[in-house]
Structure 1
Amino acid sequence: MDLEFGNYRLKRAERLLLGPEGPLELSARSFDILATLLERPDEVVAKTDLFDAVWPGMVVEENTLQVHISALRKLLPAEMIVTVHGRGYKYGGPRPLEASAEAPAPLRPSIAVLPFDNMSGDPEQDIFCEGLALNIVASLGRFHELFVIDRFSTLAYRNRPVTSAEAARELSVRYVLEGSVQKAGGRIRVSVQLVDGAESRQLWTETYDRELTDIFSVQDEITGTIIGTLASGYGGRLGKAWRDRSKSAGLKSFVALDHLQRAIDACRFSKEGESLAREHLTRAIECDPRLAKAYSKMAMSHTVDACCGWADDHDASMELARRWAVKAIACDDGDSWSYWAFANYHLYTLNHGVALEAFRKALECNPNDADVTTDYALCLSYAGRAKEGIEHARKAMRLNPFHYEWYTSQLGQIYFDARQYDKAIATFASLRSLDSAIMRIYQAASFAAAGNQQQAQKSVKRAVELDAGATLEKWTDPKLAPYGDAAYFEHFRKNLRKAGLPERAAYTP
């Protein structure tokens, strides 16, 4: 049984000491000393008793015990460990109590969506409020890594004032989404906030002002934006709050998800980042062989490695990508990421029809997954449908306003394919930190197509700095430029040649 003393908890089975801000670093010997003192709170524990309990059958110098007592006093309020001169030590803090049984810690972030308040004074807007909350619950429910309270469980709060903390406690969730709707003339305003119920802390707030021309379109647009912000494939605001939470409860339960998130955070479009990501994914799968997203992410990491030219053996990496994607679908065929990984593999092996169908299945699983949507946009462009690709790429950015810069880079590439060179150039220029070879390649082609040869040559120079093997032969290889439309492919190759990218690597005898 765990022991609670003041703001601390000694978890004996896990051999863990928890403080007000989470786990505390404690050596095994110091843990045993503290446990012994807490078990005998009314007694002075002799030094000999501590030696016998902590170092049984060993000869230990007295200063070793003093070192561990000193370490405990640095972690705990000093008055909790009292020295009784000539006798030993005594626990002097709040009386230790056996901790009440804890409810199992959830393996996923849990959230409830409370009824939206109708601030308009117009009863007809009650339907809009109800529909908005229902849509949000349904969309959040598509994310398998979230635990979402059923909408009917929250209807009890429709006419009952309650704080977020009270609702979180009653519904046994960590997070609460609440909001209000106000109509004025032909416009509608929706305000939402995400609250950490355990800490009564506001994590995120946003207000949406829209023209009320089509109430259902407005409802769907706002729902999509909220979901994209809260729970995009790479975590969103809800995922960030979950990662930043106190790690005090059920630490071992979160190991697999922690490694998955570390893998996601490591992916920064670099060879080193992908390598680190795969290390974390391997450990995530070891911890939880049922975590489909880890398989999916492993497949995509191998695809990125191959398609960015970082793999030692392109074909071997793509075969690994295929195997991991198949495992992901076998593990969970209802997860959008499983089909996302499968789609990307087939895109880069020039099976555009299979890739597009897999992307459609991914978006059926979760139509508000911004990351899947932006890659679907790129697939459409490679298949010769760049204008459709632009629509989906921009939708992905609306779904996830806090997106990574590779969204922007891919949009620039699609603008180039659509012959919208000025927009492509402006999009690439808006990048703040992403500086990859493929981005520079498409930037060079865009400048060349727009007739700006000087800037095209600068982009080529930077591309070669980032990829010493960058040549026309390499970057127009179907493995790196998987165009399914011959006219699109020739357009890309012609403008790269015009930009001055070397035809092939120089011969070295």
Structure 2
Amino acid sequence: MTFDVASKAQALDALSGRERAVAEKFAAGMTYREIGNALFIAPTTVRTHLAAIYEKLGVRTKIGLAACFAGASSAPARSLSGAPPVLAIFPIECLNSEERWRRFADGLSSDITIDLARYAGLPVIAFHTMKSLGSKPADFAADGKALGVTYFVSGQLRADDQRIRLTIELADAGNGVSLWSERYDRPIEDIFALQDSLTENVINVLAGSFGTLATVGRNAARRKPPASLRAYDFYLLAVEQHTTFSRAGNAEAIRLFSRALELDPTFANCWAELAYAYSVEACNGFGDDLLTSIENWRITAENALRLDPTDSCAHACLGNVRACLGDLEGAERAHRRALEYGSHHAGILPLLAGSKALVAGDPAEAIPLIERAMRLNPLAPPWYFGMQGRILFAAGRHREAVAALRRSSPESPDVLMFLALSHAAMGETAEAARAAARLRAEFPGFSVERFIAGYPVTNRDALLAIRHAAELANLP
């Protein structure tokens, strides 16, 4: 069966989330047993899934299955005008002669390839394709041009009985210039946990709104004339504005995301980020009408999931907007899906942690989620701390909440609100009054009840704590 880019995306859409995970790992060269261990299912269950996968994709061999994933990402195909850069991961070079370390290096390469394709929103050349090429980074120019590769990642691994040392480098495929490199030195304890830990760290340093790839892309976009910007360039610039969480930044983010979608309406992750921007508009009072913000939020989240049912950001956004509309059971279902698809995604975990603390679910689960996000992303941006602050406030840990909030964005009204609430809850009336005065002066359209309705705050204990502290702080 022959696949073009569009038919690949259509065929892969037929797979369930679990089937896709099995198919990706099998196409990358993993055995039934390895896949079973990775996904916590029996090898016989893997075999059953593969039979269904072959039938849905209309393929008969592993080569045919691999062809479906070659050059395909978890996002749908995009138009040429909006195509993001393409990434290739070289098989990590093992400098040990033992076969077990060669297998470890291959497993690590495969996991990084699969997870980057899933979480970075970038097309990533399939691992089996890169392995079959057999080329080295130094002589990759011709192969990279043929595959349309923009950046490549290479690495070396050394190991002994006590430690593993991994060096990872990101380079420009056009000229081979190194753009980023890092060395990881870890003790050998549980080898499988170590593999997961290394994979997660590499993914979250490279990917996400503050990752190396996004930074490189934004810097390149700023050097281009405005008329030559592609959808992906507008998307990167929009994410940067969005994460300021200021009124002006959020408005500019909505404009830039919308411009990207005019160029490429199939850009699923862009729809998800636009939904998130509308959610920020709703809870912070940045828009003229709350109901309009909520409706835009709902429509954009649903658009994202129609294009990519595995988008964890879209599921997180849909969960909160369902709570806004009174569907708490639907909210919890959406949050579970977000965690299923984004359990290793440092940018999604803070969103889910905030939802656990304030919206729906078990608030006790919120703190481990935000702590995991901080561990996964050593470049933790300011908004992580804003989310951590509101979670700690809901948990009654007000002193810690203040410390976290002071590391967040000073231009965000919800940060000022939770600062005032936390100080008021500790009886620090002067500090609470100063934060409340700033909130009234800088964000006259903001109110506690607007935040409660637009976030939304539906967990009973968090709702009572916010309203009680708001009275103490004399907040609007």
Same fold, judged at TM 0.5 (above) = yes
Q: 1:218 to 1:353 in 2, by over 3 A?
A: farther
- Structure 1: state its 5+ residue gaps: 1-103, 505-509
Q: 1:464 to 1:194 in 2, by over 3 A?
A: same
Give the superposition deviation at 1:276. 2.0
Q: Deviations over 1:319-343 (max 9, x none)?
A: 1221222222223323334323322
Q: 1:259 to 1:327 in 2, by over 3 A?
A: same
User: Which among 302, 305, 316 is matched to residue 292 of structure 2?
Assistant: 316
Give the superposition deviation at 1:257. 2.0
Separation in 2 of the partners of 1:299 and 1:170? 36
Separation in 2 of the partners of 1:163 and 1:273? 41
User: Which residue does the alignment assign to 2:474?
Assistant: 501
Structure (1/2) with the larger strand percentage? 1
SS at match of 1:478: helix
Residue 485 in 1 paired to residue 454 in 2?
A: no
Q: Deviations over 1:476-506 (max 9, x none)?
A: x6304633332222122222323x224x5xx
User: Which residue does the alignment assign to 1:418?
Assistant: 395
408-417 or 319-328: bigger deviation: 319-328
Residue 406 in 1 paired to residue 383 in 2?
A: yes
Separation in 2 of the partners of 1:392 and 1:118? 33
Separation in 2 of the partners of 1:374 and 1:248? 32
Structure (1/2) with the larger helix percentage? 2
Give the superposition deviation at 1:353. 3.1
Separation in 1 of the partners of 2:417 and 2:119? 35
Give the superposition deviation at 1:171. 5.0
SS at match of 1:370: coil
Residue 393 in 1 paired to residue 381 in 2?
A: no
User: Which residue does the alignment assign to 1:242?
Assistant: 217
User: Which residue does the alignment assign to 1:362?
Assistant: 338
User: Which residue does the alignment assign to 2:239?
Assistant: 264
Separation in 1 of the partners of 2:132 and 2:227? 35
Separation in 2 of the partners of 1:145 and 1:384? 28
Q: 1:154 to 1:337 in 2, by over 3 A?
A: same
Mapping 1:270-309, distance limit 5 Å: 270-309=246-285
Give the superposition deviation at 1:445. 2.0
Mapping 1:331-480, distance limit 5 Å: 331-382=307-358, 383=360, 385-431=362-408, 433-468=409-444, 474=449, 478-480=452-454
Q: Deviations over 1:417-441 (max 9, x none)?
A: 112223212212333x533221121
Superposed CA RMSD in Å reads 3.1
Separation in 2 of the partners of 1:212 and 1:467? 52
Separation in 2 of the partners of 1:254 and 1:368? 31
Contact 2:374-2:380 at 8 Å conserved across structures: yes
370-379 or 285-294: bigger deviation: 285-294
SS at match of 2:185: strand
Give the greater-gyration-radius structure (CA). 1
Give the superposition deviation at 1:410. 0.5
TM-score (norm. length: structure 1): 0.69
TM-score (norm. length: structure 2): 0.74
Bigger relative contact order, structure 1 or 2 (CA pairs below 8 A, ≥6 apart): 2
Give the superposition deviation at 1:366. 4.3
Amino acid at match of 2:373: A
User: Which residue does the alignment assign to 1:152?
Assistant: 128
Question: Equivalent pairs: percent with the same residue?
Answer: 27
Q: 1:435 to 1:107 in 2, by over 3 A?
A: closer
